[in-house]
Amino acid sequence: MRLYSILISILVASSIYCQDDEVQNLPTAPGLVKSEVRKTEIEEYSLNILVNINVPLNLNTIKDSNAVSWSLIQQKNGTSEDKKTPKLTLFNAVDSSAINSTIKTQFLCLPTESKCDSLRVPNFGPKYLGSYSNQALASNSLKNFLVDFNISAYMNHLEFKCDSLDCIYNESGRFLTVLSGKSIPIECSIIVAQNSLFTPAAELVISSDINKLDHCQIDTKFEQIPQSEIHSYLNSSSDIKIYLFKISKRCSQVFNKRDNGKSIRCDLKSVNQSAPSELQNLRVLESVSNTMDVHYDPEIIMNGEHQLNKTVFEDQAETSHFSCPIESNPLPIYEWRVKSVLYNNTDPKAIFLTPTEFSPSKREFLIRKDLGVGFYQFECRARTQGLVNRVSDGVVFNLDIKVGGVVGLVVIAVIVLLVLRRSKSNTSNEESGKTQSKIYNSGKKAKLNVVKENKNKSDTSQETAHLKSNKVDQNN
């Protein structure tokens, strides 16, 4: 540790920012032999760092190095851009007592006050803008690192807007409402504050889960805000000079109904520079995502649920309905009317409709139970209000109410029973006829057998009498 302190003292005393590269009289550890004069290798970096002005500032040394010093350079109001201002020493490894308590409170060293590998500004704000310089010594070599961090700070959240009468942006709900089929110009922007004039190391990226945005600026635009307007962006005054830049990017895109519900977002990213990654703040710094609400005209879309022609029985009409096959965004107001009626009965108890004008209703139109027998025509249409102000074409439905229902079913049931009964009667008669025929045939056969048997008996009797007669003659 003593060797390290002695080496740091020599480097600081030699004013490393401007001295030659020769490092003379370097101390050596006991037992080591210095065989040659070694040169100090110096690596210098100048980085433009973008941070959030409302978040504590954290800056780090290069990996595997030890901080020698930290300092801050700021421009004051009333000074020219090329006029150099004194450095404010924030950390000195050789003489920590040179830093007063106020500075030690405003600028914290981590991990310890005597070792400042990371500089932290807890209450970072406009008055702490400037260029932070760090000098560090590599842990395992005679390499010096000189790094300048030029700080930019974004003042607000990303702003998203559309410049057209065909779109509306709801910032609180993060909804971008656009008209389908129109080219919509959209812009993403943010305000950045700096203490000196340099290009902020940032870019804006507009993206979407829509296939690809068609017309976007290739490069992010940087526009300096006039000094006369700065007071409208800052809440307080300061003796620190402030420059403001508007960073923006624009796209133009034609959206359609299939984009409804998808998202479009804007990201503020830091730009990669020629320096070790641990010195940079490479990430998405700020992001805003919006849900697309694409308004489109009413459209007639038919599917299996939509039936334009129906026939029902008069006492079953309450179970039927018509559904208006029109869709739009935003959801339309559905309107129905009775277009025409043709009656074919004069039942005084039935309800007879007459043609009417369109009136608001639900999408589903229930058929009344008490409608009289007849032929009806109903018509629906849809009215859309918003970016789209349209009234759709009408869709006509035909309803034929017939006599039937329970009475019809009873009549049918009676007819079916009569038919079945008659069929059964015919079947019985057939079976009876067959039985009688069978009995008749059996009786006839039996009678023939009796006659035949009697004849045989007669023949036998005659034969017996003849034999007896012959025998008597013989005896005589």
Q: pLDDT tens digit string along 403-450?
A: 765 555 555 566 667 767 776 666 555 555 555 555 455 555 544 454
287 contact partners, CB below 8 Å, separation of at least 6: 158, 265, 266, 267, 268
Q: Distance between CA 81 and CA 21 in Å, rounded?
A: 30
Does residue 305 share a domain with residue 223?
no
Per-residue model confidence as pLDDT tens digits over 224-244: 999 888 888 887 777 889 999
Q: Tell me: do 110 and 216 sit in the same domain.
A: no
Q: What is the rounded average pLDDT of the residues 58-69?
A: 92
pLDDT of 13: 44
Which of 195-204, 217-226, 375-384, 453-462 has the least mean pLDDT?
Answer: 453-462
Asked if residue 67 lies in contact with residue 117, where contact means CB atoms within 8 angstroms, the answer is yes
Q: Cα(117)–Cα(60) distance, rounded to whole angstroms?
A: 6
> Which pLDDT score, from 0 to 100, does residue 344 have?
65
Residue 341 and residue 352: Cα distance in Å, rounded?
A: 8
Among the candidates 403, 433, 459, a domain finishes at: 403
Which pLDDT tens digit goes with each residue over 23-45? 333 333 333 334 444 567 899 99
Q: Among residues 206, 237, 192, which one has the least CA distance to residue 48?
A: 192
3 state SS of 404: coil
pLDDT in tens, 237-294: 778 899 999 999 999 989 999 999 999 999 999 998 888 888 887 889 999 999 999 9
Higher pLDDT, 106 or 80: 106
Q: For the domain that residue 366 is a member of, what is the CATH number?
A: 2.60.40
192 & 259 share domain:
yes
Going through 240-315 in order, the beta strands assigned E by DSSP cover 243-254, 263-270, 284-300, 309-313
Q: Tell me, what's the pLDDT at 350?
A: 63
Domain boundary, last residue among 253, 276, 296: 296
CATH number at residue 86: 2.60.40.10
Domain of 249 in residue numbering reads as 159-296
User: What pLDDT was estimated at residue 336?
Assistant: 95
- The tally of domains found in the chain comes to 3
Torsion of CA 9, 10, 15, 20, to 10 degrees: -160
Distances (CA, A) of 243 to 53, 133, 233: 14, 20, 11
The mean pLDDT value of the chain amounts to 80
Tens digits of residue pLDDT in 164-207: 999 999 999 999 999 999 999 999 999 999 999 999 999 999 98
pLDDT at residue 403, as a whole number: 79
- Looking at the fold, whether 291 and 198 belong to one and the same domain comes out as yes
Same domain, 6 and 149: yes
Residue ending a domain, among 352, 368, 403, is: 403
Same domain, 135 and 171: no
Note whether residue 182 is domain-resident.
Answer: yes
Q: Are 168 and 267 within one domain?
A: yes
Residues 169 and 97 in one domain: no
- pLDDT(325) > 80: yes
Could you give the CA distance from residue 437 to residue 445 in angstroms, rounded to a whole number?
12
pLDDT for the residue 455 = 53
Structure tokens at 293: 């609400």
